[in-house]
Amino acid sequence: MMMLKNLPFVNSINTHMDYKGQKLAEQIFQSIIVASAVAGFIYGFIVEQFGWTVYIVLAGFALSCLLTLPPWPVFRRHPLKWQPSVEAPAETREKQPESVKKSKKHK
């Protein structure tokens, strides 16, 4: 994995989702897998083959991989609105002497 991350091309792929998108993705894959599990259990019980249950759950797994792993546009509809950046360097300069005083008091 480290090897992959070191490649600049791989690193440049943007896979993030926004918070609402993450919630939606989680709800989608949980409901798909639970639904396929229920269907597979009933079908496997009827045909008396537990293998079919496993295959149906695996199909649900593959489907939810397809739907929720790539960052589809649906999961990026609510981007975070950041505050505009504020000019700050002047304040930090003023605060510096204070911190020096405090450290002296402790001694």
Partner 1 sequence: MNTVLSRANSLFAFSLSVMAFLTFGCFITTAFKDRSVPVNIHISRVMLKNVDDFTGPRERSDLGFVTFDITADLNPIFDWNVKQLFLYLSAEYATKNNALNQVVLWDKIILRGENTNLSLKDMKSKYFFFDDGSGLRGNKNITLTLSWNVVPNAGILPLVTGSGHISVPFPDSYEMSKNY
List residues binding partner 1 (CB under 8 A): 1, 15-17, 22, 25-26, 29-30, 33-34, 37, 40-41, 44-45, 47-50, 53-54, 57, 60-61, 64-65, 68-71
| Eight-state DSSP code of residue 78 | S
**Residue 56 to residue 42: CA distance in whole angstroms:** 11
Give the nearest distance from C-beta 56 to partner 1 in angstroms. Answer: 10
**Residue 23 to residue 78: CA distance in whole angstroms:** 12
Q: Which residue's CB is nearer to partner 1, number 48 or number 98?
A: 48
Q: Which residue's CB is nearer to partner 1, number 26 or number 89?
A: 26
Q: Which residue's CB is nearer to partner 1, number 50 or number 100?
A: 50
Q: Are 40 and 55 in contact (CB under 8 A)?
A: yes
- CA–CA distance from 21 to each of 11, 30, 59, 77, 103 (Å)? 21, 14, 23, 7, 46
Give the nearest distance from C-beta 106 to partner 1 in angstroms. Answer: 40
Give the nearest distance from C-beta 55 to partner 1 in angstroms. Answer: 11
Give the nearest distance from C-beta 13 to partner 1 in angstroms. Answer: 9
